[in-house]
A = this chain, B = another copy of it.
């Protein structure tokens, strides 16, 4: 970083700011003998400049190491080409979603400004920051973003999409996997293979996806006269699942199957059960939800509901940046179906 032109003498180390000033379009204009506006045009609409001038300007720019200043551009154009994402800092699921956001945004030549938060209290701070940068849009991705926050977005004139956050429906445009139907399908699968008693392990019972997924399970099972008590792991982590499994294993009468509200917790449940001497699928069948890559790893080979993350994200991008569907009275809520992955954790007799 230090050593550009001018020899950058060692004594001048700290105050390099002044000497090392970045070249601006004015500098390039002077260097190439054209007006500042022409320089600007070369970099924003090159076809409006004659090839000869274009070349002259380009080479002057190269010589000076000129790069257009996106901040200034944004101030003037009122567009930043940046989309914000408010996402939980941890969790396999969110990390995967984030990677997909980033990939698809890059494809549309947008940048991703990340606002991650560790505890849900930090969401407030994140949202304040969001408002300061005049982003072209913002993705609210986290089951724990509350109604009040959504209300704030709703009235903020900033294009917003809630990702996998059923509670947002009607308040803010949203894109979600079909949580209820997905879990119901998994339940049906258990019914099909003859399960007569089940239990459900959720992450945090106050979270809307948790409730909806549980409802999907419980209703479907009820139709077949199967009870399905709710057990709260307390967090969406491997460890929480592991512990919950340990407690479950100590019961006198184990259910035949356990449905877990998310894959990461399910991995913990699986290991926790086996650690307690309960074999899956021998003693107990197990299902997850999300379809994380690890679910397909041979070590787990989990039956789960796979979310088509790429489709979900693509839909979210469309809502945010696409054919501006600002006309609707009520924010759109797009629901994407999931698909079951059948793993060995529900393979009876394996």
Residues on B with C-beta less than 8 A from A37 are none
In-complex Cβ contact of A134 among B22, B112, B157, B268 (8 A): B22
Given A68-B132, A71-B74, A95-B99, decide whether A111 and B111 contact each other with a Cβ distance below 8 A.
Answer: no
Flag if B324 contacts A2 (CB, 8 Å): yes
Flag if A1 contacts B154 (CB, 8 Å): yes
Contact code string A88-114 (vs B, CB < 8 Å = 1, else 0): 011000011011001100100001111
Is A13 close to B, CB under 8 A?
yes
Is A327 close to B, CB under 8 A?
yes
Given A106-B117, A157-B20, decide whether A274 and B298 contact each other with a Cβ distance below 8 A.
Answer: yes
Question: Cα distance A275–B299 when bound, in Å?
Answer: 9
Question: Cα distance A154–B299 when bound, in Å?
Answer: 44
* A44 to B: closest C-beta gap in Å: 12
Flag if B3 contacts A154 (CB, 8 Å): yes
Question: Cα distance A326–B96 when bound, in Å?
Answer: 37
In-complex Cβ contact of A267 among B72, B74, B297 (8 A): B297
* CB-contacts of A253-305 with B (<8 A): 267-268, 270-272, 274-275, 293-294, 297-300
* A33 to B: closest C-beta gap in Å: 25
Contact code string A58-101 (vs B, CB < 8 Å = 1, else 0): 00000001011111101100001010000001100001101100
* A312 to B: closest C-beta gap in Å: 17
In-complex Cβ contact of A118 among B68, B103, B133 (8 A): B103
Flag if B116 contacts A114 (CB, 8 Å): no
Residues on B with C-beta less than 8 A from A267 are 297, 299
Question: Cα distance A297–B271 when bound, in Å?
Answer: 8
Question: Cα distance A16–B274 when bound, in Å?
Answer: 58
The CB with the most chain B CB atoms within 10 A, among A103, A134, A154, A298, is that of A298
Residues on B with C-beta less than 8 A from A122 are 106
* CB-contacts of A205-263 with B (<8 A): 238, 242
Flag if B71 contacts A7 (CB, 8 Å): no
Residues on B with C-beta less than 8 A from A275 are 298
Residues on B with C-beta less than 8 A from A71 are 71, 74-75, 80, 133-134
Flag if B112 contacts A114 (CB, 8 Å): yes
Is A120 close to B, CB under 8 A?
no
Q: Could you pull out 27 A-B pairs where Cβ atoms are within 8 angstroms?
A: A1-B158, A1-B173, A1-B331, A3-B154, A3-B155, A3-B329, A4-B157, A10-B327, A14-B327, A65-B156, A67-B128, A67-B131, A67-B132, A69-B132, A70-B134, A75-B75, A82-B113, A102-B114, A106-B122, A111-B129, A112-B116, A113-B113, A267-B297, A267-B299, A272-B298, A294-B294, A299-B299
